[in-house]
Amino acid sequence: MQKTIPITKLDIQQTHMSFTLPLRYDSTRMDDLALTLKANDYSFFQIDKPLIESSVNVDEIPVNEKELKQYFLPYIEDKLFPASLHENGFHRFTKSIMKRFEYKLRDTNIPFVIQSVNLILGPFDIAFLTVKVELDCPRTELADVLDFMHHFRAVEPQLAEEQGMVIVCPDNGSILSVRHLLFECLCPFLEKFILHDDKSNSYSGSLPYFEDKRMYVTAFLFSQQDSLITDDQLYRMGALDGRLPNGHLFISANNPDYIQRSLNQSLHDRWAPNRYTVITEHAFVTVTNCLPNDMSRELSQYTGTHYYNFILHYFYKIMLLRVSFEYSQIEWGKDEEYVKSLIKFITLFSAGYYSQEVSTRSEGKELSHMFRQAFNIDCLYKEVNTTLHELYKSQENHASDKMNMLLFILTIFTVISGIYGMNLVIEDWESPSGWREFSSYTFFEWISLVTALSGIGLSAYLVVTTFGKMMMSKLRRKKSKSRM
């Protein structure tokens, strides 16, 4: 008989969690957004300068700037840590919150603290809103921690297992959903800068090519010292399997072989048995049975180097899905300029931001490989390369058809002009009223008239359309919502 894996319990003493929400923002208003952020006490992160006191708190995990510089390859570092808003890259704004709330689900009440909010304004209209959360409990069972992650990440709950959770604000007793917490309580100014899909007016239309109704979870969990960390616990961390709607412990697989195969793909056990990291398409979770005081450097890496490594690969996934989506929207008979802009878009992304190697450290390379695997980046990139090849082929065929048509027309005019010895002038045209004699034209004079007028018309059409396309291209570049 097939064996099933037992669900074991694990007490979590301390939690550090971050929930990251991708957004599409209006990059043409970046300056206005930056001023709004500064007016709301957000500070712009510069790797060579410390954040101002109002944006940090004593409980915030320090980030080692020197390690950030040494972790990434130089050309990646330039994009991740631009010195100003006028440079291309990822522009990070941070604000300390330190506000207490209460999570309620079924009979479970868990107080938690929102420590800070980060907003990264990235290239190509993509932004990342990250909320840092810590559970305010001395001891919480792993199932409740995972249940909290599972429900808190659902910005707009759709499924039955995602519903039922409420957030209570102790200050006034008001009840909030996650969406209201983000866009009405923490960042009420942000929604007016978010771009939406034409078919949707709600937040869910911000990224129609991406699952943007849920946040990505990153966490650093401290269990009891020297406690045993088992395979079922690690699998549940990656899958965010907490409890069933009836409150019972939940695991989304029973087959031990399946769980082992899954962990072979998602588990980084370099520091076992004291520290494990699980990376899946839903979560990036590190768990340790060491004391927090012994993990200060690892915590700094969690909020610094590993966070940026995650953001970079998350950005890759979103952009590659975006290219595939926009390719599917092409109307080949109408969108010549759109095809050109998409070719330019893919080229700029590939040349300016995409790279298979991002880190100089061995652990950084290992985590990068796991992110690429979890986000299916290599397969998506191959699909984009195929897309680019098809776009180039389409452009070449279209240009060849236009050239053939132009040569055909010019050949007709050349043949007719050659027959007439390059002289299409009729003597009547030299008189101001000669055009009135057209009724008496011979057959060949009619050919001359039609050829001359169509030649003049064709020349005017070519001039007007050429300059019109040039003006339209300039207007598109000026109104483009993609900040390179």
Q: Delimit the domains of the chain by residue range.
A: 11-317, 322-393, 420-479
Short-list 18, 47, 124, 125, CA closest to 354: 124
Q: Tens of pLDDT along 263-304? A: 999 999 999 999 999 999 999 999 999 999 999 899 989 989
Rounded distance between C-alpha atoms, residue 109 and residue 130, angstroms: 24
pLDDT-based confidence at residue 229 (cuts at 50, 70, 90) = very high
Q: What is the pTM of this model?
A: 0.82
pLDDT-based confidence at residue 97 (cuts at 50, 70, 90) = very high
222 neighbors 292 (Cβ within 8 angstroms): yes
Short-list 294, 16, 8, CA closest to 135: 16
Instruction: Quote the pLDDT of residue 285.
Output: 97
Buried-exposed string 265-281: b where 16+ CB fall within 10 A, e elsewhere: ebbbeeeeeebbbbbbe
Instruction: Quote the pLDDT of residue 481.
Output: 45
Short-list 114, 136, 128, CA closest to 15: 136
Short-list 292, 359, 353, 293, CA closest to 320: 353
88 neighbors 82 (Cβ within 8 angstroms): yes
Rounded distance between C-alpha atoms, residue 389 and residue 201, angstroms: 34
